[in-house]
Structure 1
């Protein structure tokens, strides 16, 4: 067998370090899930006569701002961390995310007015916006092509576990003691994650070849047990150096780079507006959020109360948190096996079915039809929407985006996408009560179901499946496509 054949035949199978690094990095997202989930059990206490705030119980207007201000923070976080990640590298920017996470819990514990809570929510949103940009880039840079989808799915999995932890703490721990428990997570994250090297791409860009080589060996699980492994390591290292050299010779980032990308890669246009539509309905229908729509989990109780189910709405919201976890866990198994496109399609169609069914149930309930025998239906349907969206469209939005964006604009492109999603999320959170009042719950769910079907068509027509493909191929294909336009 020739050296070339040996290189082609070799597969990196010792991926333990990649799994460990991804889980370690996403511990900061676990902590952020607690920040997201904190609001659901906290709002009833803050609006009651027994509120711990010296400014008195929160009004409905104040609650709406607490529910949406974090989306504004996410706008700023997405853009600022796009710059920070480009400057410091993904690892250091992720470590920096612990600062706003800790500040959030300090404000919650020691703040005693509405404005303290408002600032805390803004800071938490800022951290969430940064996580969208930094974490997915870090994982994409260290992961093997054949497991990148599974590793990317861990982001939402650990975030959703954090949400469930916050729900449980809110039920069994006094309001004043919750911050003491949750602040342990970011501190533990720093201790574990700080021991890992930065990504090979970061070290090569900085010209530190020794650390770059060590990083490649670390994340590829190099053991030095065969000639084939040595050849594969050399090939990987040379590929990264070539990419770095090409980046240096490229012109500075220009607006035309984004225009070319959007014109030539219609799948980015498709998944992004589709996500906006999906985000708009999901924030109300099932109250799960992806990084920009953090606080709408609290609306789960409202939705179940309005839906007419006899099941305790607080218990139902716990069921939704479990569905979130199971869905994101399914992503780690299905993302690379079914492929990005098929899983997106299944996710959107399943969400549409669940939303239409819940809309019909609520319409019949509002018109006096006895549905006591079907009291379980809203919980099951909305849990289905939660599960199937968290298994598909929610995590794959960011995974597909980073896989389709060329390397030159990948960091800032992800920041722009995160920023835009946060804009839509803020509007949907802030104006939720008005929308329900105008259209009723069944009308909202019907529109959101139609939005899912529209997204299904977008994905079907425009999204290329990037499962198992190297991120390097994106840049190569981009250059080829641009060249074809000038022939």
Structure 2
């Protein structure tokens, strides 16, 4: 199992950089707008600052499309290594930028890396993890991302823009060095008909030689998926695939529309407008620390209490928290004396990151690695990531515009309404996946939607005999083990 945890730790270095790129804006944009760093030649207007934030998201959308093609062609591992290159280039361009346009390009390049890294590592960790700890390992991706964001919050105010970029450069460099040594996903190796290599990968990941039963299950699952190729039309037409896609899109929309991008990327600017006795940069540091602690806490409960209950509690708590921020700025907008409640937005924001971190932050990532079968996983992950990036771009780009024209309370009321709506959907539609293998989850999704009737066509699968020999048999697709009760 040591190799498994090494692989997960190495992959998380990629998520550390993702978090750092998202956290970089909060301490850096006020410096660039207010011209506090005399050693850095770039100065930004509010409009330019919004583009610096949002171009990261546009690059991420492009990176997601690239990842959908790379992850099955060159493999999960090589895709992660490839993603480290634009990440390094992005930080170097930020460090040596001399104009706003160079910052724009650097953030777009950083987005390419983010868009490739995020889906690839979700797929990789989901495929190498055994069912009993898959929740912890995939939730760790979010913890690492939030740690990267918190790290930027904490060290950003005390470093120049250039030095902050140099410090942040360490994570993608370490990724290149460490990820070379981890094994490829056994699912990917089975896709290439490299059964023996897949078994070797499982032995390395599990730390034991008795992996043939798991290898047979993986091979059977992959063979079924490859025999039944999926395009976008079939994703929508096959009930089980359609249900998985609807669930994930809804989780992604609720995740982003709860307000996380506004709070993370504009935290210091928001706190500076609260008339608090504590500077915005220090409140932002507290926010980052609380977010880290809350996300780590989720690791200890995600495989004990179940995904669904945590999601609902987290979403309702997020709605109540953003409502607190909205109430304060609504009172201020209506010229009501707020001197006695200057604590309200800070408490609301801190409560928001606590509630968001225990469910909405890690669980959509966990479930994204669980809900989709091998043949559709790369494409579905791309669709989810592009949807997420579209919403993130809209929130990041429009937040300052809406807040400047209609008051800060307006976007926070929108976040509150979206969170409450998402909680209702989760209660009625999201399934529980805790403790189930990927094959069991597929069986439930497709079995509950009548997929066995739809797949009454012939599949050619490799069948392993008792004597160890293998032969190809023509079998009805409904007879594939993980889709039946056999």
Which residue in 2 is equivalent to 1:30?
16
Q: CA deviation at 1:151?
A: 0.7
CA-to-aligned-CA distance 1:407-453 (integer Å, 9 cap, x gap): 32111101111011111111111111222234322233222212111
Which residue in 1 is equivalent to 2:141?
155
Which residue in 2 is equivalent to 1:4?
none
For structure 2, list consecutive stretches of 5 or more residues without a partner in the other structure: 457-486
Q: CA deviation at 1:41?
A: 2.3
Paired residue secondary structure (1:253): coil
Matched, 1:483 2:449: no
Which residue in 2 is equivalent to 1:135?
121
Which residue in 2 is equivalent to 1:292?
none
Matched, 1:95 2:84: no
Q: How many Å separate the matches in 1 of 2:224 and 2:44?
A: 55
Asked if the contact 1:152–1:332 (Cα under 8 Å) also holds between the matched residues in 2, the reply is no
Q: How many Å separate the matches in 1 of 2:155 and 2:281?
A: 14
Asked if the contact 1:308–1:362 (Cα under 8 Å) also holds between the matched residues in 2, the reply is no
* Equivalent position to 1:259, from 236, 251, 261: 236
CA-to-aligned-CA distance 1:49-71 (integer Å, 9 cap, x gap): 455565x5212221111010111
Asked if the contact 1:16–1:221 (Cα under 8 Å) also holds between the matched residues in 2, the reply is yes
CA-to-aligned-CA distance 1:169-209 (integer Å, 9 cap, x gap): 32223333233322222222222221111111122222223
Which residue in 2 is equivalent to 1:413?
380
What is the root-mean-square deviation of aligned Cα atoms in Å?
Answer: 2.3
* Equivalent position to 1:382, from 325, 349, 363: 349
Specify whether residues 198 and 132 from structure 1 end up closer, same or farther in structure 2 by C-alpha distance, changes over 3 A only: same
* Superposition pairs of residues 47-66 of structure 1, within 5 angstroms: 47-49=33-35, 52=39, 54=41, 57-66=43-52
Which residue in 2 is equivalent to 1:112?
98
Paired residue secondary structure (1:335): helix
Q: How many Å separate the matches in 1 of 2:238 and 2:352?
A: 32
Paired residue secondary structure (1:195): coil
Paired residue secondary structure (1:57): coil
Q: How many Å separate the matches in 2 of 1:255 and 1:415?
A: 12
Q: How many Å separate the matches in 2 of 1:45 and 1:362?
A: 24
* Equivalent position to 1:68, from 44, 54, 59: 54
* Superposition pairs of residues 434-473 of structure 1, within 5 angstroms: 434-473=401-440
* Equivalent position to 1:243, from 221, 243, 254: 221
* Equivalent position to 2:69, from 74, 77, 83: 83
* Equivalent position to 2:339, from 372, 380, 386: 372
Paired residue secondary structure (2:272): helix
Q: How many Å separate the matches in 2 of 1:173 and 1:437?
A: 29
* Stretch deviating more after TM superposition (62-71 or 201-210): 201-210
Paired residue secondary structure (1:464): coil
Asked if the contact 1:268–1:401 (Cα under 8 Å) also holds between the matched residues in 2, the reply is no
Asked if the contact 1:104–1:123 (Cα under 8 Å) also holds between the matched residues in 2, the reply is yes
Q: How many Å separate the matches in 2 of 1:214 and 1:277?
A: 40
TM-score, scaled to structure 1: 0.87
Specify whether residues 249 and 268 from structure 1 end up closer, same or farther in structure 2 by C-alpha distance, changes over 3 A only: closer
Count of residues in Structure 1 that have an aligned counterpart in Structure 2: 453
Paired residue secondary structure (2:312): helix
Paired residue secondary structure (1:26): helix
Asked if the contact 1:285–1:445 (Cα under 8 Å) also holds between the matched residues in 2, the reply is no
TM-score, scaled to structure 2: 0.87
